[in-house]
Amino acid sequence: MPERPLFDDREDAVLTDAIAGLVAAEAAIATLEAEKTLHFAAAMRVAIDRSRHRPRTVQEREMAVRSIAAEIAVALRWSDRTVQRRLQEALSLVDGFPRTLRALDEGLISAGHAHAISEIGVVLDDPEVRAVFETRVVERATADTVARTRAYARALVEELRPDTIEERFATAEQARRVWIEDEVDGMARLGVIDGAVKIRAMFDRLTRQARAVRDVARDAAASPDTAVTDTRTLDQTRADLLCDLVLAGQPAVDPTGKLLPGGLGAIRAHVAVTVPVRTAAGLDDRGALADGQSPIDAATARCLMAGAPDWDRVLTHPVTATVLEVDRYRPTPALRRRLAARDVRCRFPGCRQPAHRCQVDHNHDHAKGGRTSLGNLAHLCLRHHTLKTETPWTAEQRPDGSLLWTSPLGRTVTDRPETTVAFIPDPDPPPF
């Protein structure tokens, strides 16, 4: 008896048409967003011209902008505050990021991409440096999600800014604080601003503890001898653990009434920090990256290296920045380290789950002859590992570490390894 196809051909045809229609609609929306941006920028220029003729106080000069924002808001049925913000953002995009606006007009990127590029790149004052930034980020944006484009743009800005992350961190650190905001229904919000490494480590430790509690509760619920159930979500468990730590000094016992092996307090945070070799050696103050996303200052990076039980040295290609080799003084599973250094995150397009929270997948199934080698392994989070295993999605790894993903409909998309080093061409040497 012939095997029934996994998906009906007619359904595939409908799905293919739907996706094609969505892609076309997204491109058309992007073109319209570019047109809206030009109109907002034109209105903002009128507001600026009119404000030059107003009296000198800042508040009175702003009245022209507020009036025009209100005029547009009434016509669009928007908030005038929202319109005023869009006026300013539009002028910044039109005047400062022409390549981005052109890509938006051509439907190559979305309005979200354009906003991320202009918002992050506006700190680059030098026109040549900004042009380098814009060219590279627009190229990235045409093939990636807004979130990953934003993360890439932040990392690139840190490489290109003339002032060091060390100088900016020293100023920003003075703004660290904890605050409270009242919510509805008897709830409140506790916020904290501090160094990126500490915040990421706090969140990671709470997450590890919450997952450990959830695992214990799941095992207990499966036992016929207990009636313990824990219906909390991961977010709710994290919140409960944070309250336990602050109010009682230690996390509470798990839902079964028994401490986890070693206790929840024994669970420590894992944060991957990438440090340029010259920063590590103290030769310059170029910043590092926590979990491949958050910039941190050089002093903090060197302090973390000094206290780390072990660390990796990553050799990258001098132009493409692709990871070539990884070594470590203390012998450990070298291949796993090299994979983590190359991948940084889940390798499914658009996913930003850090590698240390992912599983290592054989792109070509090991049971079908796939080798356990760098060229056949990649990090996938549980969600996308399951997607690849349980559906017709496939991933083929290329020699440069890129993964060519093929959907059940035959649509292909390439996910490339993260690059961690940015370069600006050196100026020509002066003639002798």
**What confidence tens digit (pLDDT) does each residue in 1-11 have?**
445 455 678 88
At residue 361, what are phi and psi to the nearest 5 degrees?
Answer: -110, 140
Structure confidence at residue 168 as a pLDDT band (50, 70, 90): confident
Specify the higher pLDDT residue, 37 or 344.
37
H or E segment at 329? none
* 370 has pLDDT over 70: yes
**Cα–chain center distance at 106:** 25
d(CA 34, CA 90): 9
What does pLDDT average to over the chain?
81
Which whole-number Å values give the CA distances from 413 to 39, 348, 362, 381, in the listed order?
A: 34, 10, 18, 18
Of 259-268, 364-373, 396-405, 421-430, the one with minimum mean pLDDT is: 421-430
Long-range contacts: 228-233, Cβ < 8 Å, 24+?
A: 228/255, 228/256, 229/255, 230/255
Return the percentage of the chain with pLDDT > 90, whole number: 39
Sheet holding 294-296, edge to edge: 273-274, 288-290, 294-296
pLDDT in tens, 222-241: 776 665 677 888 999 999 88
Most confident residue range from 14-23, 191-200, 258-267, 367-376: 14-23
Specify the higher pLDDT residue, 388 or 183.
388
- The angle at the Cα of 262, spanning 260 to 266, to the nearest 5 degrees, equals 105
Of 47-51, 280-284, 415-419, the one with minimum mean pLDDT is: 280-284
d(CA 307, CA 304): 5
pLDDT in tens, 46-102: 988 887 765 555 666 678 888 999 999 999 999 999 999 999 999 999 999 999 999
Which whole-number Å values give the CA distances from 179 to 182, 193, 195, 225, 328, in the listed order?
A: 10, 9, 16, 45, 42
Runs of H (alpha helix) within 106-233:
111-121, 127-141, 146-160, 165-172, 196-222
Structure confidence at residue 356 as a pLDDT band (50, 70, 90): confident
What pLDDT score was predicted for residue 314? 61
Tell me, what DSSP letter sits at residue 185? T
